Amino acid sequence: MSNLALRVEDIGKQYNIFKESQYTTLREKIVEVVKSPVKTLLNPTGSQKFWALRNVSFSLEHGQVLGVIGKNGAGKSTLLKILSRVVEPTEGEAEIHGRVGSLLEVGTGFHPELTGRENIFLNGAILGMKKTEIEKKFDEIVAFSEIDNFIDTPVKRYSSGMYMRLAFAVSAHLEPEILVVDEVLAVGDAEFQRKCLGKMSDVASEGRTVIFVSHNMSAIQRLTNECIILDKGKMVLRARTPEAVDYYLTNDFSASGERKYHSTEIPASAHPFKPVAVRVKNNANVTTDNLLSVEPVTIEVEYELATDVTGLRVGIYLMTSRGEYVLTSFDTDAPEKFQAFGVRKAGHYVSRCTIPADTLNEGRFVIGINASSYMVKRYFADERAINFNVNATGAPGMQWVEVRQGPLRPRLDWRIEEVH
């Protein structure tokens, strides 16, 4: 037959949105059945349903590298989970020709008490490798992870970098015919990411079939030649990568740069502070989660105060996706603001700040918010309120296709002088 690696036909996945918690308890269930037997029988879970993915069809030949892009909640992970058989589709069919290896996460099943050596075997087995296969590749895995002296140390003593390297090393030596990869590259330091990307492009160039999901447009551009774009569970485009990335970045599929707070998410202790929303805006004042390194990034925190608050400061944390702090800043940092807003009256506010253009490096950033009165009370904090991606197009140093270390990418004023 043909060179078909994989074919997906009208795949759909429906999820329940549970009314309250995700888990029911037996006690609740019994009460429910006793109270209203008819209703329970008609709608056993008592929940609303929504389609995380629907009517998605595509096929892929052996040796192709396909990127899957889309904003959060577009159905990317659901698609990967279906293809790796972690979840079952609600409708549709798929056929896969060959062994699938899925990397939805690195280090699945790693146990902190076990040594590096033991975890290699355990993790390898979980990923579907045979013992003989692991034994054969063992030295290679250890060499790749650069942890050779610590191979017989329990991994709980490892630094997070060592842990990630080992975990990725095992995954990277999985040799299935079809590899399904989620954003495993979004973790680890720049050096590690570079190494992962290198390994991934080796895999791709070896003629293996790869499906690769990422938020990182530069990784997508480096690794894939074709992409599909998902939006709200639907497939909106399949095109060659440059075209798809362009479409994705310009058509604002990523307009989700907004986090709204529902009243149920706000703890009672936050009173009188009531967060309304956090937004990220680009140069054109459009709410988006995809920004350019060369444009200013505006961050807005919208909130209501039920009563007057003394000494309130509303601020942001900016973190990398690994959780390293880049900066912390409050709206009353400037002494004159601190004077002017000694007491903030009850009302509806927006606190807004701008990170200047040419500040952030490419990658994913997380914004946390915090509303507090210093030494008095922390009203509200959300460490991971919203995240956004920065694309390095036009940033300094783009003539070299390498990952730049560090979260910042300022345009520094270099001078080159010849010394006599």
Partner 1 sequence: MTTTALETKNKPGVVYIKPSRGWVSLRLKDLWEYRELIYFLTWRDIKVRYKQSVLGILWAVINPFMSMVVYTIFFGTLAKIPSDGVPYPIFSYTALLPWILFSSALSVASRSMVSSGNMISKVYFPRMIVPLASVMSSVVDFFIAFIILIGMMFFYKITPTIAILWLPLLILLALISALGVGFWFSALMVRYRDVGYLMPFVTELWKFVTPVVYPASMIPEKWRLLYALNPMTGVVEGFRYALLGTTQSISLPMILVSSGIAILVLISGLFYFRRMEKQFADMI
Name 181's bridge partners.
103, 212
Quick one: which of 256, 274, 257, 253 has its CA closest to 265? 274
Q: Which stretch binds partner 1 (CB under 8 A): 105-113, 250-258, 379-387, 400-408?
A: 105-113
Among 47, 57, 298, 373, which residue sits at the site for partner 1 (rule: CB under 8 A)?
Answer: 57
Is residue 135 a contact residue for partner 1 (CB under 8 A)?
A: no
Among 64, 102, 282, 351, which residue sits at the site for partner 1 (rule: CB under 8 A)?
Answer: 102
Measure the CA–CA gap between 11 and 2, rounded to whole angstroms. 22
CB 331 within 8 Å of CB 309: no
Residue with Cβ nearer partner 1 (89 or 275) = 89
Is residue 100 a contact residue for partner 1 (CB under 8 A)?
A: yes
Sign of CA dihedral 233, 235, 236, 239: positive
Is residue 34 a contact residue for partner 1 (CB under 8 A)?
A: no
Is residue 89 a contact residue for partner 1 (CB under 8 A)?
A: yes
Among 84, 214, 290, 332, which residue sits at the site for partner 1 (rule: CB under 8 A)?
Answer: 84
Measure the CA–CA gap between 371 and 377, rounded to whole angstroms. 9
Name 298's bridge partners.
281, 354
Is residue 27 a contact residue for partner 1 (CB under 8 A)?
A: yes
Measure the CA–CA gap between 7 and 206, rounded to whole angstroms. 21
Task: State the minimum distance, in angstroms, from the CB of residue 346 to partner 1.
Answer: 41
Residue with Cβ nearer partner 1 (178 or 314) = 178
Among 61, 118, 175, 295, which residue sits at the site for partner 1 (rule: CB under 8 A)?
Answer: 118
Q: Which stretch binds partner 1 (CB under 8 A): 112-120, 187-195, 290-298, 390-398?
A: 112-120
Is residue 53 a contact residue for partner 1 (CB under 8 A)?
A: no
Is residue 93 a contact residue for partner 1 (CB under 8 A)?
A: yes
Residue with Cβ nearer partner 1 (104 or 190) = 104
Measure the CA–CA gap between 336 and 10, rounded to whole angstroms. 60
Is residue 85 a contact residue for partner 1 (CB under 8 A)?
A: yes
Is residue 186 a contact residue for partner 1 (CB under 8 A)?
A: no
Task: State the minimum distance, in angstroms, from the CB of residue 391 to partner 1.
Answer: 28
Chain centroid to Cα 400, Å, comes to: 25
Strands laid side by side in the 325-330 sheet: 290-292, 377-391, 363-373, 312-320, 325-330
Question: Going by C-beta distance under 8 Å and a sequence separation of 6 or more, which residues neighbour residue 83?
Answer: 6, 8, 94, 96, 100, 102, 180, 211
Is residue 128 a contact residue for partner 1 (CB under 8 A)?
A: yes
Among 60, 66, 79, 94, which residue sits at the site for partner 1 (rule: CB under 8 A)?
Answer: 94
Tokens of 76: 């990317």
Quick one: which of 312, 326, 318 has its CA closest to 298? 318
Q: What is the 3-state secondary structure (H, E, C) of 196-233?
A: HHHHHHHHHHCCCEEEEECCCHHHHHHHCCEEEEEECC
Q: Which stretch binds partner 1 (CB under 8 A): 68-76, 77-85, 226-234, 335-343?
A: 77-85
Q: Which stretch binds partner 1 (CB under 8 A): 102-110, 208-216, 233-241, 365-373?
A: 102-110
Residue with Cβ nearer partner 1 (24 or 221) = 24
Window 216-255: residues binding partner 1 (CB under 8 A): none
Tokens of 18: 């549970």
Is residue 22 a contact residue for partner 1 (CB under 8 A)?
A: yes
Q: How many CB atoms lie within 10 A of CB 320?
A: 19
DSSP classification of residue 323: -
Residue with Cβ nearer partner 1 (73 or 92) = 92
Task: State the minimum distance, in angstroms, from the CB of residue 239 to partner 1.
Answer: 18
Q: What is the dihedral of CA 237, 240, 246, 247, to 10 degrees?
A: -10
Is residue 26 a contact residue for partner 1 (CB under 8 A)?
A: yes
Is residue 114 a contact residue for partner 1 (CB under 8 A)?
A: yes
Window 309-338: residues binding partner 1 (CB under 8 A): none
Residues contributing to the site for partner 1 (CB under 8 A): 7, 9, 15, 22-27, 29, 57, 59, 81-98, 100, 102, 104-105, 108-109, 111, 113-114, 118, 121-122, 125-128, 130-131
